[in-house]
Structure 1
């Protein structure tokens, strides 16, 4: 009886968590692919250059893992093909555990993206979470013969249908923008305000005296204490945005970008840019009172080539590629700013017309 209760509890916890995690990632497959690219980059430098081969397929691998994660969670809840299900779950969680351990121990990828941008975990928190899952899935694997085995056609249709739905939603999220924006640059955010602490930052100090470490709320005046480290007591007060910045050869233009009405054309990568659709932006670049600027992570000669081909004469600035990908999951993408507040964001596939841009600044 106890065994049955434990197996049922573990089955629902693991299955529910996999479905929850997968559905959050379905919302933003591009974000997951960015994390995979980071891992492949780290592994190619630290382990073997072979991992470089996977970088161009990060998006496809992202969608595959997302659909697999949701499907396996549903399969476990429905007791569908128990041997296959628990075996694949064990392989998948061991893979995830390796990634999170590598991130935590070597401090390489500081956010594994386990729950997308919706729930942020530290590398060690992600690793401990995976260890718990390894234990639960390990128990399910060892005792899999005690689990019911459902292979009905109805269940097959449900599992297959859920996988297809996840695939369709993933493609829609890729071809448009995430259905729900959990990032710091979502519509309505005042970037200038988000770059400031929300309160006074408070620290505790780790000091050493006579070989013993002591945690103190105030820095001691006694010179016999040796400083070891300091820890932030209220991390929630940290700025929500700490990495936004734009510049060019003439200097920093971050403050200037966050003043007045701006239409940003964000290009995070020249090689991956959807250049065929840049012409969709021609009509919206001449709105009276709205300055159009390009913010890019590409080289100057590349962006100047783009501007020459398109016949554009607008200023351009540089920004960090990771930040630009965080701002908008489109390359290129369109961001409308009013005094630093994000009014609207558009995927290049859904570029606004002239009237829509004008109306955005009339609220």
Structure 2
């Protein structure tokens, strides 16, 4: 029994630490996912969830830091009763979110492990149900409290993990994620990411006389009735399926992948940091004719042009889906440098590079 408790405690604690650290790496991404949940809940459950949308980022930082801290506390067996109660409350909350997503299919990715590991809604829900059972098992099987010396060590380690994870989360918000798990990361070629990585393999499900048959190639026998076509290697699907750039004159996606281009990403100008445009404008002027500079936005044309006049951002602009722009960068505004479709650089508005660094990256 003691061995089982120890194994479960380390498994649950390790999983919470892993999940929390991945999201500490990208609290803005977690906030985007939380906002999605709040907006859906405000429409489908109760209107008051709408008031949580502006608080998504601080709530997300609190939640991801808490995951790390509680995971470490559980492994250390620190404040066992309070730790298990807090873990149980969190996992019940997560189970509600993932269960709702699975049943309604309203959110197709729970964001449980950020962009590092994608789970379907049902996979996420089953994972959370298993964790509920494990944490209940630990809670109902609590044993002797820690010694005084062990508790003092726990104070230091748990307190240190709180300070460190909170600092990392705040740093990631003020800059960019330490590790970029998205398809738009530095080094990736966007046109390549928009293509299948291998030839699709299909399986044809056919019916004949009430019996189902499966074929690698579509049968020529007309006595078979088509039932379904299964995709056997979904991992070969393109990593990017929704990237597009356009304006009122048409689609310009293919032009994005030609030559050296720096994009100023402003997915919502009403929420952008206007003061940072001064430094971005200085960079644009310093680059001169060496690199083409464009803006990508999801704001409407009249709103964006008013914003341009306010901040003096005199560059051509194109439209791109807001979700895509938030996936490309967690910064608003942000900078995204491409050379023949390959991502050479990404910068937060707090880290605007000098022109020589930009030029060096595309030479």
Please give the range of the TM-score, normalised by the shorter of the 2 chains: over 0.9
Q: Is the contact made by 2:206 and 2:212 (CA closer than 8 Å) also made in structure 1?
A: yes
What do you get for the CA RMSD once the two structures are aligned?
1.5
**Separation in 1 of the partners of 2:102 and 2:147?**
38
Change (3 A) 1:293 1:7: same
Residue equivalent to 1:28: 26
**Separation in 2 of the partners of 1:13 and 1:103?**
25
1:63 paired with 2:61, answer yes
Residue equivalent to 2:306: 305
Q: Which runs of 5+ in 2 are unaligned?
A: none
Q: Which stretch has the larger CA shift, 118-127 or 226-235?
A: 226-235
**Separation in 1 of the partners of 2:147 and 2:102?**
38
Q: Which stretch has the larger CA shift, 198-207 or 215-224?
A: 215-224
What SS class does the counterpart of residue 312 from structure 1 fall into? coil
Residue equivalent to 2:7: 9
- State the 1:205 CA deviation: 2.5
Listed as ranges, the matches of 1:118-129 within 5 Å are 118-129=116-127
Change (3 A) 1:42 1:206: farther
| C-alpha distance after superposition, 1:81-118 (max 9, x if no partner) | 11111111111111111211222221111111111111
What SS class does the counterpart of residue 335 from structure 2 fall into? strand
| C-alpha distance after superposition, 1:30-86 (max 9, x if no partner) | 111111011111111111111101000100010000111011111111111111111
Listed as ranges, the matches of 1:261-340 within 5 Å are 261-286=260-285, 287=287, 288-340=289-341
**Separation in 2 of the partners of 1:196 and 1:359?**
29
Q: Is the contact made by 1:19 and 1:73 (CA closer than 8 Å) also made in structure 2?
A: yes
Q: Which runs of 5+ in 1 are unaligned?
A: none
- State the 1:296 CA deviation: 0.4
**Separation in 1 of the partners of 2:209 and 2:97?**
39
Listed as ranges, the matches of 1:1-363 within 5 Å are 3-144=1-142, 146=143, 148-149=145-146, 152-286=151-285, 287=287, 288-362=289-363
**Separation in 2 of the partners of 1:121 and 1:157?**
35
> How many pairs align?
359
- State the 1:310 CA deviation: 2.5
Change (3 A) 1:225 1:190: same
What SS class does the counterpart of residue 285 from structure 1 fall into? helix
- State the 1:270 CA deviation: 2.0
Q: Is the contact made by 2:274 and 2:311 (CA closer than 8 Å) also made in structure 1?
A: no
**Separation in 2 of the partners of 1:70 and 1:56?**
24
Change (3 A) 1:147 1:324: farther
Change (3 A) 1:265 1:150: farther
| C-alpha distance after superposition, 1:321-346 (max 9, x if no partner) | 11101101100000111111100000
TM-score (norm 2): 0.95
Q: Is the contact made by 1:111 and 1:121 (CA closer than 8 Å) also made in structure 2?
A: yes
- State the 1:228 CA deviation: 3.2
Change (3 A) 1:194 1:160: same
TM-score (norm 1): 0.95
